[in-house]
Amino acid sequence: MATRTSPPPHEALARAAEVGIHRIPLPTPFAIGDVNVHVVEGDPLTLVDCGPNSATALGALEAGLERLGHRLTDVGRVVVTHQHADHVGLVAAIVERSGAEVACLDLLAPVVEDGESHSRRDDDDALVLMGRHGVESHVAEALHSVATITRHWTSSAPVAVRVPDGGRLEIGGRDWTVHHRPGHSPSDTVLHHAGDRIAFTGDHLLARVSSNALVSRPLGEWDGRRPRPLVAYRESLRATRELDLAIALGGHGDPVVDHRTLVDERLAQQDERAARILQMLGPGPCSAHGLAVAMWGQVAVTQVYLTLSEILGHLDLLLDAGAVVEDVADDAVVLFRQA
C-alpha cells in the first residue's frame, strides 16, 4: 500500500491554522452554498476572498473575525481570487470600513474596479449567445432581465496591488506565487506557497463539486469569437496538477488533499461527458440548447446558461478532436453534427 502523504481534510485545516490561515464560511444566496473566506494572520491581516454583498454575509464575517480575536477594521488587505460575486461582493464594504488595500491578478483589476460595467457587457454577450445556440427568445430575454437584478450581490473597489501571472504576492509574511488559471471564470487565480505546500485555489479546484466552465467575456483584448472556457480549464487543471501541493484551500467545502488524483478524476469525467454528447448527436444535427434539454430536461430550462455552457464546453473538446462539425450561418441557430 502506498504511503499517504496528504492529511485528511480536518487535519489539513489544522495544519493551515498552524501557519496562521483560518477559514470562515459565509452564507450565499447561490446554489453552491457557503463560500470560504480565508483569514491569514500577519501584517497586514489579510482576507483571501470576501463573500457576497449582503448584510448576512457581512455579519457572519464580522462574527468569524471576532472568534479569531480580530475586528473588521483590523483587515489591511483583501486578495480576490476571481470575479464572481460570492468572492468579491463585500470588497467595497470592507475597504470602506477598514481602509484595506485590494490585491489581485493584474488582468482582473479592471473588473474589480468596475464590476457593474463588466457584468452588463457579460449579460449582453450571454443574451446573444443563448439566441445563437437555440434558446427561445422569450426565455433568453427573461434571464437577461433577471441578471440585472442579481448584480447587487457584487461591488467594486480600487485595486492597489496588481500581480502578473507568475509574480509574487506577500501574504502573512510569506511570498506566494500567483498563477492565472482561467476556466471556471476568465480570472481564476491560484496562489501557491511552495515552502508550506499550500495553495488558495478559489473555485478553480473544489473537493466536492466540479467547477463549471462558464462562457464569459475574456479579460483584456477580445477578438469577438466565442470563448472556449472548458478547453482553457483543462489546460489550467493540468498546470495545477504539476504543483508540489499538500493542501488546496478552495472557495467552497473542504480542502483538497490529493490534488493530482482529483484533477485526473475531473479530466476523466469531462472525457466521459463528451463521449456521451457525441453519442447523442448520432441521429442528426442539433443545437447546443437542444442537447442540454435532451440531457437534463427541465433543468436545462431553469438553469439555461449553466447547462448551455456545459454543453458548449464539451462540444469544443469534440471539435478539437475532429469528432464534431459546427454548422454556422448568419442569423441562424448554430447546429452541431457528427463529423
| 339 residues of the chain, pLDDT tens digit each | 233 345 677 899 999 999 999 999 999 999 899 999 999 999 999 999 999 999 999 999 999 999 999 999 999 999 999 999 999 999 999 999 999 999 999 999 999 999 888 989 999 999 999 999 999 999 999 988 888 877 889 999 999 999 999 999 999 999 999 999 999 999 999 999 999 999 999 999 999 999 999 999 999 888 888 999 999 999 999 999 999 999 999 999 999 999 999 999 999 999 999 999 999 998 889 999 999 999 999 999 889 999 999 999 999 999 999 999 999 887 789 999 999
| Number of Cβ within a 10 Å radius of residue 96 | 11
Overall domain count for the chain: 1
- Is 229 within a domain? yes
- Is 93 within a domain? yes
Q: Rounded to an integer, what distance in angstroms lies between the CA atom of residue 225 and that of residue 218? A: 10
Q: How far apart are the first and last CA of the chain?
A: 45
Helix (H, G, I), strand (E, B) or coil at 22: strand
- Is 186 within a domain? yes
- Is 56 within a domain? yes
Name the residue type at position 261: T
We report the CATH number of the domain holding residue 180 as 3.60.15.10
Domain that holds residue 96: 10-124+154-268
Q: Rounded to an integer, what distance in angstroms lies between the CA atom of residue 168 and that of residue 265? A: 30
- Is 178 within a domain? yes
- Is 118 within a domain? yes
Give the torsion through C-alpha atoms of 298, 299, 300, 304, to 10 deg. Answer: 120
- Is 58 within a domain? yes
Q: Rounded to an integer, what distance in angstroms lies between the CA atom of residue 159 and that of residue 80? A: 10
> pTM, whole model, 2 decimals?
0.94
- Is 149 within a domain? no
